[in-house]
Each structure stands twice: as C-alpha cells, then as structure tokens.
Amino acid sequence: GNSVTQMEGPVTLSEEAFLTINCTYTATGYPSLFWYVQYPGEGLQLLLKATKADDKGSNKGFEATYRKETTSFHLEKGSVQVSDSAVYFCALILTGANNLFFGTGTRLTVIP
C-alpha cells in the first residue's frame, strides 16, 4: 500500500539550532512528495515539494531531497527561528491519482 512515516514529536529546539525531521514512504507507483506546514490556528500550507528522484525542494530556508534509494524525503533547516514553531506534515501523491497520503505530523517548538 501507500503510506508515509515521519518521526514522532514533539521536537523542541533552541533558536538557531539545526533541524531534521525524518520522513520515509512506501508507494505502489511513482510519487510526488510534499512537506506541508500548519501554524497555530491555521490550515495547512505547502512548504516545499519534489516530483522526481534526486529533486530538491526548498523554501524559507527549509529543504528536502527526494531519495528513491532510501525512499526518504527528510526535512532540514540550518538555523531555526521561533516563527518556525508549527506542525510539519510529510505527504505523497501517486502519479495519476488525486488524493494525498499524509504522515501523522511532527510538532516543532523553537524556544528563544
């Protein structure tokens, strides 16, 4: 089947620390991969995406590389800020499909 597994939170970091949130996937076809972010009290919004192997998505200092050999799409940021505190969701969609498969989400809290 199709599924996404991401590291369990919560994750608490100090400002300017390095962030990694692990995400691995299982897919029956060739997926596109996404990271969505949900800030407190808001809906989800797209953070970055990659549509094929070895693609790197990047946005707002975050980046993730589509690794087909390890079926992974880990999210990284070199120096987090308090404003990055949010819940992060990894997701996939199969070529030709309409619906996303989401991971369970990882809550990140950044303290000053």
Partner 1 sequence: DVKVTQSSRYLVKRTGEKVFLECVQDMDHENMFWYRQDPGLGLRLIYFSYDVKMKEKGDIPEGYSVSREKKERFSLILESASTNQTSMYLCATNPSGPDTQYFGPGTRLTVL
Number of residues that bind partner 1 (CB under 8 A): 23
Backbone angles phi, psi at 111, to 5 degrees: -105, 145
Closest to 33 (Cα-Cα) out of 85, 79, 75: 75
Q: Say how far apart CA 52 and CA 35 lie, in whole Å.
A: 14
Q: What is the DSSP letter of 67?
A: B
Instruction: State yes or no: residue 104 binds partner 1 (CB under 8 A).
Output: yes
DSSP label of 94: E
**Residue 35, interface with partner 1 (CB under 8 A)?**
no
Is residue 40 close enough to count as binding partner 1 by CB under 8 A?
no
Residue 102 touching partner 1 (CB under 8 A): yes
Inter-residue contact 91 to 33 (CB < 8 Å) = yes
Using rule CB under 8 A, residue 70 touches partner 1: no
Q: Which of 45, 79, 81, 83 binds partner 1 (CB under 8 A)?
A: 45
Residues that bind partner 1 (CB under 8 A): 32, 34, 36, 41-46, 49, 89, 93-100, 102-105
